[in-house]
């Protein structure tokens, strides 16, 4: 039991050890930097809150319209089988959706009720802005009072929007359960599954928006790192933070403890003793262990995003990209293909850049371009030259695990050139039609962990002059 308690309290205590030192007052050289830091933080919080408010508002309208349309399809389909059952099961359905849309539009108190949801970002953002209003880091507010009031207002509006979305989510869950129970004995094809899928993706979209809040910008990271070292801010969060209110933690907890539990100073002393017993690198070992544990937790959350809410568990295999924004689906690529020279061309490397978008979890398509850099005939005659360009279109279809069916079409200019005008000779562009297999390789490095190797067959290699290579091997990196 003691080991479990220490495992739970160790991250908290280590954080306390790191941030408990009070930051001395800034000198004159730091004033401008701190004001700029605070100003950037306030702007970042305001912009992020405004963006998520807009996104959730659009999501509510789109998904509710789609769900209502699917209910109408279900009702029509059921009416062909059992008209009386269709009339009874869907009685008042349109009125329920209309009332919900009106409640959302009018910000009804019914949808603003607390859901018991705790969001670290809104808690920190709201309290940090309130703290900076009364305790600016350099003695003066870095923005106008109206700007600060507007930022605080947006965070509060976001909190209300999230509560509203959670209540809409509960309405959808209840509606989904009701329809599943009522329609379980009827064969309605895939329409009920489509309704359940739409309900699931609403919940997943909401989870994605909440996750985006935790993705701190550089301005947030720097400002919060500074604030968390600042003793007055620590005291403010202890008194005003949502968790402090939830657990009713007294302001003198560090000295008195709660309910007979050890005080902060006692835990700090115990951990210091244990860390010292680990040798001169004890703190580094603890920090490395914590980082590894946090990394594993992140992997589990990414693998099972729906865990923790059993009502959201889908009865189908969901597509994780469906709720992602377009910018979060974009994949950039870099690859290199080296070819031995012949009578027509020197040794060269085909260096390609690409940009693609994930349409589904399994299917990616994109475009790219390549530059052919010549090295000369042999090691005794090294000479860097421009040996051509290439234009590409590609697809990747995930077969299993890390294997992909890859292919695409290419146009390659296989002649040395000194200017853009030479590239206008379209007869010099050669076509390639590629199809093969790719595999992503997990390497234990930070930069090359998404390495991709491809073996492709060119179906048009024999039609080009000079005759091209039938097999194309490429190694690259996606990021």
Q: What is the CATH number of the domain that holds 384?
A: 2.40.160
If pLDDT is split at 50, 70 and 90, which confidence band does 189 have? confident
pLDDT top residue among 357 and 275: 357
Asked whether the predicted pLDDT for residue 26 surpasses 70, the reply is: no
Tell me if 282 sits within 8 A of 275, measured CB to CB: yes
Residue 312 lies in a domain: no
Calculate the CA 154 to chain-centre distance. Answer: 22
Name the token pair of 433: 């039609």
Name the token pair of 132: 């900076």
Residue with tokens 């680990």: 278
Asked whether the predicted pLDDT for residue 72 surpasses 60, the reply is: yes
Residue 200 carries which DSSP code?
H
**Domain identity same for 280 and 418:** no
If pLDDT is split at 50, 70 and 90, which confidence band does 60 have? very high
Residue 310 lies in a domain: no
CA distance 201 to 64: 12
Q: Is 158 left (phi over 0), alpha (psi -120 to 50) or beta?
A: alpha
User: Number of H helices and number of E strands within the chain?
Assistant: 15, 8
- Give, for 376, the enclosing helix (H) or strand (E): strand 363-376
Tell me if 298 sits within 8 A of 179, measured CB to CB: no
Residue 418 carries which DSSP code?
S
Residue 309 lies in a domain: no
Structural domain containing residue 72:
2-303
* Lowest-confidence pick of 292-296, 363-367, 419-423, 452-456: 292-296
CA distance 228 to 16: 10
pLDDT for the residue numbered 163: 92
Asked whether the predicted pLDDT for residue 366 surpasses 90, the reply is: yes
pLDDT top residue among 236 and 137: 236
If pLDDT is split at 50, 70 and 90, which confidence band does 27 have? low
Asked whether the predicted pLDDT for residue 48 surpasses 90, the reply is: yes
Report pLDDT digits (tens) over 284-308: 777 777 767 766 665 555 554 444 4
pLDDT top residue among 104 and 423: 104
**Domain identity same for 139 and 22:** yes
Q: Chain-wide mean pLDDT for the chain? A: 82
If pLDDT is split at 50, 70 and 90, which confidence band does 23 have? very low
Asked whether the predicted pLDDT for residue 6 surpasses 70, the reply is: no
How confident is the model over 348-356, as a mean pLDDT? 92
**Domain identity same for 299 and 348:** no
Q: What is the dihedral of CA 74, 77, 83, 88, to 10 degrees?
A: -10
What is the total count of domains within the chain? 2
Report pLDDT digits (tens) over 266-288: 666 777 777 777 777 777 777 77
**Domain identity same for 103 and 226:** yes
Asked whether the predicted pLDDT for residue 385 surpasses 90, the reply is: no
**Domain identity same for 286 and 425:** no
DSSP string computed for 246-268: HHT--TTHHHH-STTPPPHHHHH
The values of phi and psi at residue 438, to 5°, are: -125, 155
Q: How close are the terminal C-alpha atoms of the chain, in Å?
A: 43
pLDDT for the residue numbered 343: 62
CA distance 154 to 48: 9
How confident is the model over 135-157, as a mean pLDDT? 88
**Domain identity same for 412 and 350:** yes
pLDDT for the residue numbered 275: 73
Residue 318 lies in a domain: no
CB atoms within 10 A of CB 256: 11
Calculate the CA 58 to chain-centre distance. Answer: 19
pLDDT for the residue numbered 304: 47
DSSP string computed for 112-147: HS------HHHHHHHHHHHHHHHS-TTSS-SS-HHH
Q: pTM of the prediction?
A: 0.72
Cα distances (angstroms) measured from residue 247 to each of 86, 242, 250? 49, 9, 9
* Lowest-confidence pick of 125-139, 238-252, 272-286, 292-306: 292-306
Residue 11 lies in a domain: yes
* Closest listed residue to residue 390, CA positions, set 439, 351, 433: 351
């Amino acid at each position: 039991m003691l080991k479990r308690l220490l495992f739970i309290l160790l991250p908290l205590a280590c954080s306390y050890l790191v941030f408990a030192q009070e930051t001395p007052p800034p000198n004159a050289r730091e004033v401008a930097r701190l004001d700029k830091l605070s100003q950037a933080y306030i702007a970042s919080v305001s912009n992020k809150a405004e963006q998520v408010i807009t996104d959730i508002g659009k999501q509510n309208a789109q998904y509710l319209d789609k769900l209502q349309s699917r209910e109408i399809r279900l009702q029509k389909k059921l009416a062909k089988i059992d008209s009386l059952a269709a009339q009874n099961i869907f009685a008042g359905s349109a009125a329920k959706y209309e009332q919900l849309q009106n409640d959302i539009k009018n910000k009804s108190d019914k949808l603003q009720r607390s859901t018991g949801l705790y969001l670290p970002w809104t808690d920190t953002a709201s309290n940090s802005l309130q703290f900076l209003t009364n305790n600016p880091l350099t003695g003066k507010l870095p923005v106008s009072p109206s700007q600060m009031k507007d930022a605080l207002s947006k965070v509060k509006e976001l909190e209300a929007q999230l509560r509203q979305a959670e209540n809409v989510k509960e309405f959808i869950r209840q509606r989904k359960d009701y329809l599943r129970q009522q329609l379980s004995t009827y064969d309605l094809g895939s329409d009920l599954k489509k309704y359940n899928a739409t309900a699931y993706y609403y919940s997943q979209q909401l989870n994605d928006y909440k996750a985006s809040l935790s993705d701190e910008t550089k301005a947030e990271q720097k400002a919060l790192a500074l604030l968390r070292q600042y003793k007055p801010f620590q005291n403010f969060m202890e008194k005003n933070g949502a968790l402090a209110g939830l657990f009713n933690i007294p302001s003198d907890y560090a000295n008195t403890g709660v309910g007979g539990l050890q005080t902060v100073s006692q835990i700090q002393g115990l951990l210091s003793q244990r860390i010292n017993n680990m040798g001169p690198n004890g703190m580094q070992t603890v920090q490395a262990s914590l980082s590894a544990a946090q990394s594993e937790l992140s992997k589990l959350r990414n693998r099972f995003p729906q865990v923790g809410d059993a009502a959201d568990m889908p009865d189908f295999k969901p597509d994780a990209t469906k709720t992602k924004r377009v910018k979060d689906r974009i994949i950039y690529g870099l690859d290199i293909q080296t070819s031995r020279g012949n009578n027509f061309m020197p040794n060269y490397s085909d260096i390609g850049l690409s940009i693609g978008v994930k349409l589904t979890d399994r299917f990616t398509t994109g475009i790219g371009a390549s530059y052919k850099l010549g090295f000369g005939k042999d090691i005794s005659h090294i000479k860097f030259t421009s040996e051509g360009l290439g234009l590409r279109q590609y697809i990747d279809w995930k077969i299993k695990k890390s294997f992909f069916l890859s292919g695409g079409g290419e146009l390659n200019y296989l002649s040395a050139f000194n200017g853009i005008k030479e590239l206008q000779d379209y007869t010099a562009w050669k076509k390639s039609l590629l199809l093969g297999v790719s595999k992503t390789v997990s390497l234990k490095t930070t930069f090359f962990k998404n390495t991709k190797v491809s073996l492709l067959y060119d179906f048009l290699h024999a039609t080009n002059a000079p005759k091209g290579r039938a097999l194309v091997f490429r190694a690259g990196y996606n990021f």
